[in-house]
Amino acid sequence: MHRRQTFGALTMTFVLLAIPSRAQEADEPEAVPALRASLPVKSANILADPSLDTEKPTTPKPETAEIAIPPLRSSLPTPELRTVVRPVPPVLSAKLPAVAPSLPLVTREADARAEYEPLGLRLGNFIVNTTTSTGLGLRHHSTQGDETFLRSTGDVAARSDWERNSLELRLGGAYRRSLSGIDESLPEGNANITGRFDLTNADRLTASAGWTLRDDTSGDGKENTFSGTLGYERFGGVIGLKTGLGIDRTANETDPTLDNTALSSSLRLSLDNGAVLQPFVEIGAFSRSFDRSAAGDGLSRSGVGGEAKAGVAVARDDVTGEIALGYGYEWLREDGLANISGVVGSASLTWDPSELLRLNGIASTSFAPTSAAGASGVLKHIGELTVTYALTPNAFVVGGGGLTLEDYAGIDRQVTTTTLKAGIGYKLNRTVELGLDGEHKIVRSNAAGGDYTDSSVTATLTLRQ
């Protein structure tokens, strides 16, 4: 009881600290363009769209002494609200491999590669890009057998080009249907709208809303997640502030006892001095409430928790991103369930050693729910590294690997998933691309019958606009 009272007091203190004070207006009109410059957020994702990543963030020149309050610095992309209680964003299912690289568009290679990049379609003040892909593949599962499948993916993205503020919309989906062998179909999808609203030269509001349908690779079935985020940023001085509130509603189509609503909040303080390395600290509080007790043991997994991390962000010509490490804890309301705790970390780094080579790395930690008897939840660590190399301006190879560690709190169960991916692509022109990609997944579990391997190879035809 004392721990929960202490946690409640810490939460109230955090909320009071997170309330932003009224920002002062800068008197210098030339400070406005620094705020208007929105940087591309580099994706450390193997599904990144190269047409949306054509420049690197730059550090603006220091402001003159006449400015009362420095404007909002855009030296780093805005980090999204990501706490351990929020669902890990899907990279499509591991059963739906895809290869679409992101390469630096710089120096002498820029003009040659630009001839193969889609131009997009202008609709009013929006630039719209579309991508569709169709693939035919072969798959071998060590326990389920062999399969021939047809895979289709699609993505539509629209970005505003307003002088001030911004709005981005994205709609995507994937579907895999078995043609022979294993009888299954795997639909997945996502829709998201994100807005940035510049209040002053030093204050900004962000908001987003989205929906995701994903295939849960842990075997718990398909999940629909509806999310919303509201954030505030202030970089009016050496110390930058970012705070946010998030809500996630998850509905599992197979196991309704996993249906839950999660509320989360975070506060980040960073040293925004314009240097290459910028340290930061971040704290968060969250709660998760389940609609009903778990099917495995009849106990509710509802609880509250918190996390704290320290890290550093980097903004150089060839390296951008951030890395952080900390600790998270979740108190379960049921006395018969163990609390969840562990080291938590996050990372998103992009490194361009040369104009032909790009390395992307991501890592995340989440407290995932489960209905397994006696288990409070799953401490899940995910890491992935992708290497992309340009053979010519219109041909590339890509390879990488991923590692997922799942540790069930309260019971002796661990699952390790190792994934290897590789592919090659050839762009015929701005619109048409041919590709061949493969994936090999190895799952090892200390539970009986939990080990298997899953391999696939897919030939694809991609159309971009």
Q: Which residue has the tokens 């505003």?
A: 160
Confidence (pLDDT) at 68: 36
State which residues form the domain around 61.
2-464
Q: Which of 95-109, 222-236, 288-302 has the lowest mean pLDDT?
A: 95-109
- The values of phi and psi at residue 307, to 5°, are -150, 155
Q: Which of 78-87, 301-310, 370-379, 418-427 has the lowest mean pLDDT?
A: 78-87
CA 303 to chain centre: 24
For residue 392, pLDDT over 60 is answered with yes
More confident: 262 or 201: 262
pLDDT tier, 117 (very low <50, low <70, confident <90, very high otherwise): confident
Alpha carbon separation from 184 to 140, 147, 150, 178, 198 (Å, rounded): 14, 10, 11, 6, 47
39: left (phi over 0), alpha (psi -120 to 50) or beta: beta
For residue 51, pLDDT over 50 is answered with no
Enter the DSSP assignment of 258.
G
Overall residue count recorded for the chain in this entry: 465
Q: Which of 175-179, 217-221, 302-306, 416-420 has the lowest mean pLDDT?
A: 217-221
CA distance 415 to 440: 17
If one counts the domains in the chain, the total is: 1
161 and 168 in contact (C-beta within 8 Å)?
Answer: no
Radius of gyration of the chain (CA): 23
Confidence (pLDDT) at 235: 81
Assign residue 363 the CATH number of its domain. 2.40.170
The 10 Å Cβ neighbour count of residue 386 is 24
For residue 266, pLDDT over 50 is answered with yes
pLDDT tier, 19 (very low <50, low <70, confident <90, very high otherwise): very low
Confidence (pLDDT) at 103: 62
pLDDT digits 0-9 by tens, 213-258 = 987 655 556 889 999 999 999 987 789 999 999 999 999 988 899 9
Listing DSSP states for 348-395 in one string gives EEEEEEETTEEEEEEEEEEEE---STT--EEEEEEEEEEEEEEEETTE
